[in-house]
């Protein structure tokens, strides 16, 4: 049986990754934009609070179950920044190019380039669901100064996975999903929904 699910995100890169992960296992994904749901506020200092706010917002405006993702890149030498502020690290309007340029500049004088991607997923059956289903995932790597690769989105061209010898923008989409913070979180979430 296919299950209809609203994806509480306006990020096209996330949408592609979720479609590839969820459609083969029987979910019919609908981005919130299809229902004219505007971007939710993300005012909180934790990923999980922002993800819950996004999921409830989409479920409230569509009347359907919703899945939200809040994620980011956390750089150790920067005390975990940009973290929850990853999407707007270089200010408004959101720009991957300016975010990456700022990240590389901020790290130029640092020896430690280690970082990790973090993702929290929240699924709500309806807007006031008292038992949201929550799962997370983490993916270690390091930030490199020169962009490599054209796949993915966001910080991917600067996020190197030393074990694979590639940036996450050089990975095929299925390989990224097999390893990524988002893929890990989604597999854990799906286990909880069974
Ligand atoms: O809130 P929604 O609408 O889902 O879209 P968003 O892009 O604003 O998403 P977030 O608020 O969760 O911010 C996450 C940011 O972290 C970065 N990011 C998260 N996952 C990533 C990934 O897999 N590859 C590259 N960058 C990623 C990227 O800059 C995202 O914009
Ligand atoms: Mg956002």
How do beta strands 114-124 and 133-143 pair? antiparallel
The domain in which residue 41 lies consists of 3-193
Give the pLDDT confidence score for residue 68 in this predicted structure. 98
The pLDDT tens digits of the residues spanning 20-34 come to 999 999 999 999 999
Q: What is the pTM of this model?
A: 0.98
Q: Whose CA is nearest to atom 26 of ligand 1?
A: 154
Ligand with an atom nearest the CA of residue 138:
1
Mutational test site, ligand 1, from 53, 72, 161, max ligand atoms within 8 Å of CB: 72
Q: CA-based angle 22:72:103, to the nearest 5? A: 140
Using a CB cutoff of 5 Å, list residues around ligand 2, an ion: 87
How do beta strands 66-75 and 133-143 pair? unpaired
110-141 per-residue burial string, b: 16 or more CB within 10 A, e: under 16: eeebebbbbbbbbbbeebebeebbbbbbebeb
CATH of the domain at 90: 3.90.950.10
d(CA 87, CA 142): 18
What are φ and ψ of residue 164, in 5° steps? Answer: -95, -15
CA of 140 to the centre of ligand 2 (A): 21
Q: Is 17 in the pocket of ligand 1 (CB under 6 A)?
A: no
What are φ and ψ of residue 22, in 5° steps? Answer: -100, -30
112 is in an annotated binding site: no
Q: Is 62 in the pocket of ligand 1 (CB under 6 A)?
A: no
Give the pLDDT confidence score for residue 2 in this predicted structure. 83
Number of domains in the chain: 1
d(CA 94, CA 83): 15
d(CA 166, CA 98): 22
Give the pLDDT confidence score for residue 75 in this predicted structure. 98
Extract the residue ranges of the chain whose pLDDT is less than 70: none
């Amino acid at each position: 049986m296919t299950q209809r699910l609203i994806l509480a995100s306006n990020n096209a890169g996330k949408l592609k990754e979720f479609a590839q992960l969820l459609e083969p296992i029987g979910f019919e994904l609908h981005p919130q934009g299809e229902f004219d749901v505007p971007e939710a506020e993300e005012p909180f200092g934790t990923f999980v609070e922002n993800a819950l706010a996004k999921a409830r917002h989409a479920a409230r405006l569509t009347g359907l179950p919703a899945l939200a993702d809040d994620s980011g890149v956390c750089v150790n030498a920067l005390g975990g920044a940009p973290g929850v502020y990853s999407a707007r690290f270089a200010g408004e309007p959101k720009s991957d190019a300016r975010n990456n340029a700022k990240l590389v500049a901020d790290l130029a004088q640092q020896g430690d380039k280690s970082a990790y991607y973090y993702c929290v997923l929240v699924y709500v059956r309806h807007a006031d669901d008292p038992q949201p289903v929550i799962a997370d995932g983490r993916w270690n790597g390091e930030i490199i100064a020169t962009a490599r690769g054209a796949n993915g989105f966001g910080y991917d061209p600067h996020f190197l996975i030393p074990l694979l010898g590639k940036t996450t923008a050089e990975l095929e989409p299925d390989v990224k999903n097999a390893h990524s913070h988002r893929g890990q979180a989604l597999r854990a979430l799906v286990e909880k929904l069974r």
